[in-house]
Amino acid sequence: MYRSHTCGELRASHINNEVTLSGWVQKSRDKGFIVWVDLRDRYGITQLVFDEERTPKAMMEMAQKLGREFVIQVTGTVIERASKNPNIQTGDIEILVSEMTILNEALLPPFTIEDKTDGGEDIRMKYRYLDIRRNPVKNSLIFRHKVTQEVRNYLSKEGFIEVETPYLIKSTPEGARDFVVPSRMNEGQFYALPQSPQTFKQLLMVGGMDKYFQIVKCFRDEDLRADRQPEFTQIDCEMAFVEQEDILNAFEGLTRHLLKEVNGVEVKEFPRMLYDDAMRLYGNDKPDIRFGMQFGELNEVAQHKDFEAFNNAELVVGIAVPGGNAYTRKEIDQLIDWVRRPQVGALGMVYSRCNDDGSYKSSVDKFYDQDDLAKWAEKTGAKAGDLVCVLSGDKNKVRAQLSALRMELAERLGLRNPNEFAPLWVMDFPLLEWDEDTERYHAMHHPFTSPKPGQLEMLETNPGDVKANAYDLVLNGNEIGGGSIRIHDKKTQALMFDYLGFTKEEAQAQFGFLMNAFEYGAPPHGGLAFGLDRLVAILGGQETIRDFIAFPKNNAGRDVMIDAPAPIDNKQLEELSLKLNLKS
C-alpha cells in the first residue's frame, strides 16, 4: 500500500494516527536540527517533519538531500502543528516521519511548480506534464471534468442518447480545410478527420434515435487565430420532430443547469437579438451585453459638412464611453494609436467631450458646431461626463474596428466582470454569404442549414437576403454554441447545393449518402453544438482555452512537448504510396 490517506485529507481529528502518504516534494526547509518538507499530491499538501531528537540519523541525512519533485513515500504519526497554517486544509497538523522511501529522484524542474510560476508559456508547454502539477492547471482540468459530467447527466436525464460517430470520414469541400489521412489499404485514397459530426447526426435522426448527443473531438486545418486549436471538443446535439423554439428551450435549460450547478448563478432571461441588429448595434455577431456602449450611426448628423473623411465614408458610427471625459489628451491619443494598430486597422478616431456644463469640445470643432455635437451625443446616448468616440469608413470594416474598441474600453473600465453571466441568442443569420475570390455564394454555416420558413423562393430572386433558420448562443461576448434547423428533404437539399455552385454530379459524389437517406423518410430535425473548450473557460472565469485543455498546441499548431507534427520515414511513405513535393 503506497498510501493510507491523500495529502489533502488529514485533519486534527487524525492526531496520533499512524498514516502512510506518497507524493512529490513541493519544497523543503532545512534548519540543521530540523527539516520540514511539504509533500504534494493532487489533493493537497501535508507538512512532514524530521528532527534530530526523534528521527534516526540516516533518515535525517536522507531528508536533507531531498530535492524538489522527488517522489517519496513516508509513514509516520499525525501530530499537532506548532505553527498552524490557515491557508491550507491540512494546516493544523504535520507528520512526524518514522519511515521514508525515495520512490523516484527528479531533476530540478525548468520552472517552479507554484501557483505563480517563473515559467513562460513556451517552456510550460514543452514540459506540460510538469505544468499540470500546478494548481491553476490542475484545477482547470478538474473543473472541465465537472462541467462535462454535468452535461452528460443533464442530457441523459432529458432523454438524449450518447452515440459515437467515426473519426475517419470523407473529405468535404465546404468550410475550413480538412486534415486528411492516407489509406494504406486503399491506394491513392484518403480519409478526412471530421470538422464536426454534422452529417452523421442527421443520419442518426433518419435512423430514429430522436435525441442524440456526443462529446466529440473535431478537427480543422486553419490558421490558429483568436485562441483556437486545430483539434477541439464539441458537445454535439441533435433532435428530431422539433422546431427552432424546441431547441432554444432545450439548450437554455442545459445552460441554466450548468450556471447553477457549476457557478451557483441563477439566470432567468435569455434575450434574443436578430443578427442584423447585433451587427448594427455592436459590430459583431456575438455581442457582450454585460455593459452598454451601443453603436450610434451618425451619417445623418455628421456628413454633408466640410469634413471629407466623414463625407467619403460608407458609415460614420460612434459609441459613448461612460466617464470618458475624464481622459487626458494623452490617454485619448493612446486610444487613437490603439485603433490604428494593424490588428484593428482604423485610419484614425474622432472624439467629442461631453462637458458637465452641457457644452461639447471635439477634435473636429473646425467643422462641427455645438448643435452638431449635441446630435452626436443624442445618437450615441452620451451624457455629461462621457466621451464620444467616432470611426468612419467601409461599413463592415468600421463596425469590426469599433467593436474591437468597445471591447478594449470595457476591459479598461472593468465592465467585463467574469463572475457575471449574460447569455444571448443571436438569430436569423444570412443563409448565404458572397465570396469575392470565387465569385459565388457560400453557406454561412453549412450546406444543410434550412432557410427561414417561406423564404426558399427568394433564393431565385434575392439569395443574399435569405435568412437561415439558424441561431447562436452567446455568453459574455463569446459564441459558446450554434446550430440550425436542418433541411430534411432531398429536393430542397439538391436546390441548396445548386445555389452553392455544386453540379449534380459533385453533390452526389460528396453527399449522395445523405441525400439517399432522405428518400427513406427523414424527420424534421435540428440541433446545436456547444464549443466545450470555450464554454468551460468562460464558466471558469477566463477566455483563454489552453489551460482547460490537458495537452494544447501552440499558435503554429505544434505540440512542442512531443514535437508534432513530425516527418515520417521513407518506408512509411512507400507503404502509403506517397511522395513528398516540398517547397524549398
Any binding-site annotation on 174? Answer: yes
Any binding-site annotation on 486? Answer: yes
Residue 554 in grid coordinates:
501552440
Any binding-site annotation on 42? Answer: no
Q: CA-to-CA distance for 89 and 289, rounded, in angstroms?
A: 39
Any binding-site annotation on 574? Answer: no
User: Could you tell me how far CA 393 lies from the centroid of its own chain?
Assistant: 30
Residue among 456, 460, 296, 509 at smallest CA distance from 382 = 296
Q: CA-to-CA distance for 469 and 479, rounded, in angstroms?
A: 17
Residue 131 in grid coordinates:
505544468
Q: Three-state SS for 248? A: helix
Any binding-site annotation on 221? Answer: yes
Nearby residues of 281 by Cβ (< 8 Å), 6 or more positions away: 287, 294, 295
Any binding-site annotation on 406? Answer: no
Buried b or exposed e, range 324-348, using 16+ CB within 10 angstroms? bbebeeeebeebeebbeeeebebee
User: Could you tell me how far CA 578 lies from the centroid of its own chain?
Assistant: 36
Any binding-site annotation on 479? Answer: yes
Any binding-site annotation on 236? Answer: no
DSSP letter for 576, please. Answer: T
Residue among 192, 188, 198, 200 at smallest CA distance from 220 = 192
Residue 340 in grid coordinates:
490604428
For Cα atoms 59, 64, 66, give the angle at the middle one, nearest 5 degrees.
Answer: 95
Any binding-site annotation on 534? Answer: yes
* Main-chain dihedrals φ then ψ at residue 21, nearest 5 degrees: -125, 150
* Main-chain dihedrals φ then ψ at residue 407, nearest 5 degrees: -70, -40
444 and 430 in contact (C-beta within 8 Å)?
Answer: yes
From residue 348, give the alpha-carbon distance in Å to each of 218, 334, 438: 40, 11, 32
Nearby residues of 300 by Cβ (< 8 Å), 6 or more positions away: none
110 and 123 in contact (C-beta within 8 Å)?
Answer: yes
Residue among 127, 7, 24 at smallest CA distance from 69 = 24
Q: CA-to-CA distance for 320 and 353, rounded, in angstroms?
A: 10
Any binding-site annotation on 345? Answer: no
Number of Cβ atoms within 10 Å of the Cβ of 193: 20
Q: CA-to-CA distance for 94 and 412, rounded, in angstroms?
A: 45
Annotated binding site for L-aspartate: 174, 220, 445, 486
Annotated binding site: 174, 220-222, 229, 445, 479, 486, 531-534
Annotated binding site for ATP: 220-222, 229, 479, 531-534
